[in-house]
Amino acid sequence: MNKQLKKSEITKLKLKEAASQLFVSKSFDDTSIADITKQAGYAVGSFYKHWKRKEDLLLELWYDATTHFMLATAESLIQTKTFHEFSVHMVERVLMYGNDPFIKKYFAARYSLEVHDASGMSAAFDLYVKNIYQQLLFLHHKTESQQLWESAIAVADLLNGHVLNANNFGENSLAILEKEQLVRIVEQLII
């Protein structure tokens, strides 16, 4: 790798770290590009070598965090040996994700909706669903099942919807399920 490219990657990483910290401590809306570059120790121009807008950086940070969550959850699913363990594990992972300080700030940010690139997450979400499906096949001692594929999609949709609702409406809303309720519903979907 050439030296200039490596330096550019280090700069980008430091800018992302600074932005993530500031978005959590101050909020996305109260953080300027100048704040980010100052905390990272760079000139403002360095920001524009990597992103056009602050929203692009926010989306990249969210994509990184969400992809990491989905992959880590998928990898850890193989540790579950029963339907109940699977259900508890999935719910606990999603609650952990939804309570992550950066994720909470992401959902609170006011940015234009057109920056949200749904296609950018589809590969990670597909892998997430496929791993849920593979673990359901294992738990059911099957090699293939359309019903379990649909259950895997339903579990992923239910839990992702829960995170969105909890962050959009607040945990005190009557429309937000408790952990035990989520576990019961996931168990009903997979058995």
Q: Tell me the pLDDT of the chain (191 aa) as tens digits.
A: 577 778 999 999 999 999 999 999 999 999 999 999 999 999 999 999 999 999 999 989 988 998 899 889 988 999 999 999 999 999 999 999 999 999 988 888 876 444 455 555 677 788 899 999 999 999 999 999 999 999 999 999 999 989 888 887 876 777 788 999 999 999 999 99
In terms of Cβ atoms closer than 10 Å to its own Cβ (0-12, 13-18, 19+), residue 34 is exposed
What's residue 180's pLDDT?
Answer: 96
CB 58 within 8 A of CB 109: yes
What's residue 121's pLDDT?
Answer: 64
What's residue 118's pLDDT?
Answer: 58
What's residue 113's pLDDT?
Answer: 43
Determine the Cα–Cα distance for residues 36 and 23; give it in Å rounded to an integer.
9
Question: Is this prediction's pTM over 0.85?
Answer: no
In the chain, what are the domains?
Answer: 1-50 (1.10.10), 53-190 (1.10.357)
